[in-house]
Amino acid sequence: MTDFPRPILTVDIVVLAFDGTALHLGTLTRDQAPFKGLPALPGGYVHTDTDQSTEAAARRVLADKTGLADIFCQQLATFSGPTRDPRGWSASVAYYALIPADAFPALRAQARLDWTAPDALPPLAFDHRQIVEAALLRIRAQARYSSLPAWLLGETFTLAELRQCYELLLGEPLNDSAFRRKMGDLDFLTPVTGAKSKSTARPAQLYLQKTRSLALFDRTL
Amino acid sequence: MTDFPRPILTVDIVVLAFDGTALHLGTLTRDQAPFKGLPALPGGYVHTDTDQSTEAAARRVLADKTGLADIFCQQLATFSGPTRDPRGWSASVAYYALIPADAFPALRAQARLDWTAPDALPPLAFDHRQIVEAALLRIRAQARYSSLPAWLLGETFTLAELRQCYELLLGEPLNDSAFRRKMGDLDFLTPVTGAKSKSTARPAQLYLQKTRSLALFDRTL
DNA sequence: ATAATAGTGTCTTTCAGACAGTATGAT
DNA sequence: ATCATACTGTCTGAAAGACACTATTAT
C-alpha cells in the first residue's frame, strides 16, 4: 500500500469551570509560533511513545496544566485539514473537561491557565474558536438529558446550586418545584448528612452523585 | 518542541442500510495483512496530499466503495492506541453513513461490499467491532430526538415506513396515532403528490424531508 | 418576630398512549 | 361487499408548569 505523509496528531482540551455565576474557559497564551501571543486551548502532540490513546494524551495534558487527575473528560470530535495548522496537515482530537467547583478557586489562584468567558471569546489560535463553539453546543445539548452540569459542581452540592448550573447551561430558568421533582424521580443523587447555609436562611440539604459516571436521563431536562 | 513519531491516521466508516425489515452493515474482506481474510469496515489512510479533512477522506472512501456521493455521513469518534493496528500507533476517525433505501438494492447487487447483520457480527478486523457498537449506540440515541431514521429511507416514504424504521432503531413499537401526531407537530415533513399502494388496501401518502440536514427535535421521540 | 431561602402540596395545562371509528383503494 | 391498510377523533392517565403554602435557620 502506498504511504502518505503522516499528519500531525494533537489533542486540544476545552476546559470549563463554573464559579457559581458564570462559565470560564481555560486558555494558555502561546509562547511560540505559530500563533505566538494568542490564547489557545491547552493541548499538544500525542506522544506515540508513551500515550496509550488520545484520551490518555488529553488527560496527561490536563494533569500537566491543572494538576488534576480524575476529571470529567470526554471526547468531543476530531478537527482536521491541511491548513488549520501552518506546520502541515493536522488532526486534533478535541476533548472537553469540566473542573469541579471545589477545585476551581485554587486552580484560578495558580494562574497556570487564563480564564475567559466562553461566550465572548477573544481571537484564538488555530481553529480553537470553532472547537470551543462545538464543545458548548455539545455540553448544552447534554445538559438537557444528563447529569453533566453536576460535574461542574463540587463533590457535594445543593439542589439550588445544581439548578443554577443547569439554568446557566440551558440558558433558561427552570421551574424549581418541577426540578426537585425530576431530580427525585431520576434517582441519581443521594442526600448526604450535612447542610449548607448560604446566609440568614434555612440551610439546604447537600447531595452527591450516586455514580462516578455521567447519568443519562430517559426524559428530557 | 520535541517531535514524536507521527501516528498512522485512517478513517473507517460504519455503513448502514435498511431494507424495510432489518439493518445491514457494509463490510469488506481484507485482502492483505493485517487481519487478512477478516471482514473489516470500509476505510483507509487519510491522503494528506489530497484530502481536505478526515470527513473528505471518509466521503472519498464511501464514493469509492459505493459509488454514492451526498450520503448522510457524520463523524462518530476517534479510536486510537499503540496496539489497535499492528503496524504501529494509530488513530482512526470513525464515521457512520446511512444508505438511502432507494439506492440499496442496486448497491447490494453490485456486491462491492458484503452485508451483515450488525446485531450478530462475525469477528471483525482491528477494533472494528467496538466501532460498530459505538455507532449503533449513537444512532439509536439519535433516533430518539432527531430525523436520523429518515435518512435510511428513500427520497419519499410513507409514515408507516418511517415509523417502522424508528421502531427498528429504537427497538420498541411506537404508537401509530401518537407517531403521526408528533410527525405533524415536528414539522419536518412535506407531503408530496403521489401515493404508495402496498397491496390491497388504501394507498399511503408520500412525504419527503423539508431540509437536507438532520432535524433535531426539542422533545423526545 | 422577621427576613430569607429551602422544600412541599396541589391545581391546571399539556402531552403521550390507547383505541374506537372513519376513509379509501384493490379484489 | 369485503378486506386490508391509512388516517382521525377522543378518552384517559401521566408528567410539567405555576404558585401558594409550610419549614427552618440567622438575626
Residue B79, SS3? strand
User: pLDDT tens digit string along B161-180?
Assistant: 999 999 999 999 999 999 99
User: pLDDT tens digit string along B173-210?
Assistant: 999 999 999 999 988 999 998 777 667 788 999 999 99
Is the pLDDT at B130 greater than 80? The verdict is yes
Distance A164 CA to D11 C1' (A): 39
User: pLDDT tens digit string along A163-191?
Assistant: 999 999 999 999 999 999 999 998 899 99
Check A93 against B80: CB less than 8 A apart.
yes
User: pLDDT tens digit string along A148-158?
Assistant: 999 999 999 99
Ranges of residues in chain A whose predicted pLDDT is under 50: none
Cell of A33: 509560533
Provide the positions of strand C that have an atom within 7 A of a protein CB.
3-10, 15-20, 23-27
Residue B13, SS3? strand
Long-range contacts of residues B56-61, Cβ cutoff 8 Å, at least 24 apart: B57/B11, B57/B93, B58/B11, B58/B13, B58/B93, B58/B95, B58/B97, B61/B11, B61/B13
Check B48 against A8: CB less than 8 A apart.
no
Residues of A9-44 as b/e, b for ≥16 C-beta within 10 angstroms?
Answer: bbbbbbbbbbeeeebbbbbbebeeeebeebbbbbbb
Question: Going by C-beta distance under 8 Å and a sequence separation of 6 or more, which residues neighbour residue A52?
Answer: B81, B82
Q: Give the CA-trace dihedral at A169, A170, A171, A175, to 10 degrees.
A: -120
Q: What is the mean pLDDT of residues B88-115?
A: 97
Q: What is the mean pLDDT of residues B141-150?
A: 94
> Where residue B103 falls among pLDDT bands split at 50, 70, 90?
very high
Cell of B111: 456486491
Q: Is B80 within 7 A of strand D by CB distance?
A: no
Q: Is A182 within 7 A of strand C by CB distance?
A: no
Mutate to test the interface with B, among A54, A78, A87 (most CBs of B within 10 A): A78
Is the pLDDT at B120 greater than 80? The verdict is yes
Mutate to test the interface with A, among B2, B9, B52 (most CBs of A within 10 A): B9
Cell of B188: 419536518
| pLDDT attached to residue A197 | 67
C-alpha B205/C-alpha B187 separation (Å) is: 16
Q: Is A177 within 7 A of strand C by CB distance?
A: yes
Q: Residue A4: left if φ>0, alpha if ψ -120 to 50, beta else—which one?
A: beta
| pLDDT attached to residue B198 | 67
Is the pLDDT at B1 greater than 70? The verdict is no
The rounded Cα A209 to chain-centroid distance in angstroms is 17
| pLDDT attached to residue B122 | 97
